[in-house]
Structure 1
Amino acid sequence: MNGKQDALFRFAAAPKGVETVREPLSFMRRGADAHGAYPDSLAISQNWSVAAQGSDVPVYAVPVTRCGPHSFCRVELLAEGCAAALRLKFSGMLHEVRITPQTDALQWRKEGGDIICKLAAPCTFTVEVNGRMYTPLTVFVEAPEQNIPRREDPNVLWFGPGLHRVSSLELHTGQTLYLASGAVLKAVQPGKEEAPTVAGDWAGVPNYKDFIRAQDSEDIKVLGRGIVDLSELEWHARRILCFTRCRRVTVDGPVLL
């Protein structure tokens, strides 16, 4: 975590193993490949950089079906009403800026090749440049996290900062899956020992158990400020979340890819 004295923002470092986009054109084209599975499709953006109080905020990029890649970052705003500022920089020429939605929590201005965003309260906004939808940036500005579950609680599946490669997870009554800020929960291809639940769906491809799932359970939570990443899986291999005949399910916080 960023820990400057009198810090206005807090954010987690990018996990080791998440690398900068190496071939931008190839990375962009992945979004149009519905069948492909790419182990490095969560990457550090080459299109955008973000700074908070002089410190670089990790900006991630993912391929999307159209107008990608889509970059995003998330920070915690530690003090509201103080006009804390983020400096956003686009890698290309910056002629025009459009930020949506419009909110009283955000004031911004273009300053040369940078965009200065002054924030009075938590908000989420998306930046488009030069009159185009291509290579947008979404910024999640969040209040400090509350009600973090205890790591030592036996009913908590806790994933701290870092890259965690897992096959799938099944939750049961009373359990919480928690992804700390800076954690990436990455799905890996089903092993040969795992039988598909559907041998061939409408597209003729096998389906396996859902990545995060529960059945006939209650009081289940999926929480935290981490990332769930299924980009390495083949098309239709797993759904990201599925809760069947469950009650009182809470999903709040993680970014789902």
Structure 2
Amino acid sequence: MPRGLPILAAAAAAAAVALALVPAGAAHADGAPYTGKQYDFGGTITQISGDVPVVDDIANSITASTAATVDEIAAHRATLPYGDIYPAPGTPDQLTTYPGPAGIPASDQYSVTVEQAGGPVPSFVYKSLARKTDTNRELDTSWTSFSFSGAVTVRVTRARPGATGCLVRPYSAAVVTGFSGSTCTFTLARPGNLSVEFEPEIHNPVPHPMLVFANPPEVDVPSPGDPNVRYFGPGVHTIGAGQPITSGQTIYVAGGAFVSGGFIATGPVSNVTIKGRGIISGLFMDTGSQELNKNQPGMIDIADQASSNVLVEGVTFVDAPRFNVRALARYTTIHNVKTMSWWYSTDGMVGGNKSLLENNFVKSNDDSIKLFWGDTTARGNTIWQLENGAPFMISWNIHENSQTFHVYDNDVIHAEHYQIEKSGIFRSLHAGSGTLSRYLFDDIRIENATWRLFYLTIENNKWYDPARGHGEIDQVIFRNIHAYTTYQKPNVVQGFDSTHKMRNINFQNVYANGVCFNNVQAGNFTVDPATTNAVRIYRSTDGSCRT
């Protein structure tokens, strides 16, 4: 595990992750042997009893391959000026808060203090208003950001009366809260991206969310005098869209900086660092129209896949009218980034081939994390999904053959799917000609979602020309998925036709609707026998699926 990696998991959750990575056959550490059903092309159904070595082999191969890729990414990142992102072990206790920029109003919903030694100090609280008001059921989102090591006590006070208690999500952070008056108090021993929720407003839609971004200490901070650094210090900076990203450049947004701007690479770039504890806002680009916003640029846009070695770290992106972070470079790291955006076409983040998406917070109304370009690891992320899109998007009109994705130890704390029929936590709407394969989703926790868990299809859409042909999706494993709620809609697995199938799709120890899935009935699945093959739904026989 990288040094300083802030995984806020309870001991049981951490143990589950460790066990999930044990090679197949290691004393059935993950709860094997299994029981369940396999559904093959044409409608044949066979019983699963015992081990499933074909799936274990795929999972172990993906794990080994992506672990090697993460090491490759780290080796490239180490060559970047200001490319270090992990505090050293034994970092002394410290707490850093950031000033509110002049002219940026503080939230009228919440106030926050943090305390380590010497008494509580205020932490400035921002607020972003909902933008797609015809569908957004939330009214705004407030947030604060600070950095620390050691332990820190946080007090969040709600301005409105009527609260009866509080909690902190994700559950895996195991944060114990105290509540008095209108103040929620808790102590953190590790960094994390958290939602502080006041009862009874803890279920979708939460009208006034409050987020706490408790960052690790900054390391490898750029020098403002370095000619290769574009340095934004505390205060408001209005720079506009289309700001160039160039090879060898570092863009630094200090804590307390509020930058109205967007950054774009117009061709391939390499060795780029974008980091800091400040904010980049896209509100100035927002037209107020869903259709017009589709023509707006992204906040960070590196679209040329010939690019290489990009780091985006620590920055908070708010009010993007289009996507937040598109960094399609080979060897990309997106680490401890925070995004909050409201429009149907605003995606959270996507990396290129050989990418690491780690410890981020994503609140988006389109896809939060896109898993399109292979050799990608996404771990330690926290997602709040709005009405549209999916927390984990597997495919959308992709024509390349992409493979090998490891998505593990992530939390979905809310999914506000209410009305869009094809929504789901895990989703593919694959209309492209590429074949996408070798996905391992492991140890994913879903807290407050009631629409649908899986929507996995190959199907046309209005943005796709079917004359371009169709591909397949193959070798997908969902393992140790724990959903705390009950879903209204059936899970769907469906290919396009008999030669463009969903193949080798595996659901191992998936818990939702109060049960562990071991057949289509238990999981409320619709599996099309004419367009799928080797769909396996099975659970451990020792009861470990529920833990």
- The aligned counterpart of 1:70 is 141
What CA distance in whole angstroms lies between the structure 2 residues aligned with 1:117 and 1:229? Answer: 29
For residues 168-188 of structure 1, the C-alpha deviation after alignment (integer angstroms, 9 at most, x for no partner) is: 31011110110000001113x
Cα deviation, residue 103, structure 1:
4.1
**2:301 aligned to which of 237, 242, 250:** 242
Segments of 5+ residues of structure 2 without an aligned counterpart are 1-91, 131-135, 288-292, 319-547
**1:15 aligned to which of 82, 89, 101:** 101
Task: Please tell me whether residue 119 in structure 1 is matched to residue 170 in structure 2.
Answer: no
AA of the residue aligned to 1:10? T
SS at structure 2 position matched to 1:178: strand
- The aligned counterpart of 2:283 is 231
Segments of 5+ residues of structure 1 without an aligned counterpart are 1-5, 20-43, 188-210
Cα deviation, residue 232, structure 1:
2.1
CA contact 1:105–1:122 (8 Å) conserved in 2: no
Task: Please tell me whether residue 251 in structure 1 is matched to residue 312 in structure 2.
Answer: yes
What CA distance in whole angstroms lies between the structure 2 residues aligned with 1:16 and 1:52? Answer: 21
- The aligned counterpart of 1:135 is 208
Which moved further from structure 2: 238-247 or 132-141? 238-247
AA of the residue aligned to 2:98? A
**1:91 aligned to which of 144, 159, 177:** 159
| Structure with the larger helix share | 2
AA of the residue aligned to 1:107? V
- The aligned counterpart of 2:506 is none
What CA distance in whole angstroms lies between the structure 2 residues aligned with 1:166 and 1:96? Answer: 42
Cα deviation, residue 96, structure 1:
3.3
RMSD: 1.9
TM-score (norm 1): 0.73
What CA distance in whole angstroms lies between the structure 1 residues aligned with 2:299 and 2:193? Answer: 23
**2:221 aligned to which of 148, 171, 189:** 148
Cα deviation, residue 92, structure 1:
1.3
AA of the residue aligned to 1:71? S
What CA distance in whole angstroms lies between the structure 1 residues aligned with 2:156 and 2:286? Answer: 34
Task: Please tell me whether residue 181 in structure 1 is matched to residue 252 in structure 2.
Answer: no
CA contact 1:175–1:221 (8 Å) conserved in 2: yes
**Large movers: runs of 4+ above 4 Å:** none
Task: Please tell me whether residue 59 in structure 1 is matched to residue 125 in structure 2.
Answer: yes
Does the C-alpha gap of structure 1 residues 146 and 7 become closer, same or farther in structure 2, counting only changes over 3 Å?
Answer: closer
AA of the residue aligned to 2:286? E
AA of the residue aligned to 2:251? L
TM-score (norm 2): 0.35
CA contact 2:176–2:186 (8 Å) conserved in 1: yes
Does the C-alpha gap of structure 1 residues 118 and 184 become closer, same or farther in structure 2, counting only changes over 3 Å?
Answer: same
- The aligned counterpart of 1:164 is 237
CA contact 1:122–1:142 (8 Å) conserved in 2: yes
Does the C-alpha gap of structure 1 residues 230 and 185 become closer, same or farther in structure 2, counting only changes over 3 Å?
Answer: same
- Identity, in percent, stands at 24
AA of the residue aligned to 1:172? T
Does the C-alpha gap of structure 1 residues 121 and 7 become closer, same or farther in structure 2, counting only changes over 3 Å?
Answer: closer
Cα deviation, residue 144, structure 1:
0.9
CA contact 2:166–2:177 (8 Å) conserved in 1: no
For residues 16-66 of structure 1, the C-alpha deviation after alignment (integer angstroms, 9 at most, x for no partner) is: 1112xxxxxxxxxxxxxxxxxxxxxxxx11110001232221000001333
SS at structure 2 position matched to 1:232: helix
Correspondences of 1:45-56 after superposition (within 5 Å): 45-53=107-115, 54-56=120-122
For residues 73-113 of structure 1, the C-alpha deviation after alignment (integer angstroms, 9 at most, x for no partner) is: 011123x2x4x211110111211323210245632111222
SS at structure 2 position matched to 1:92: coil
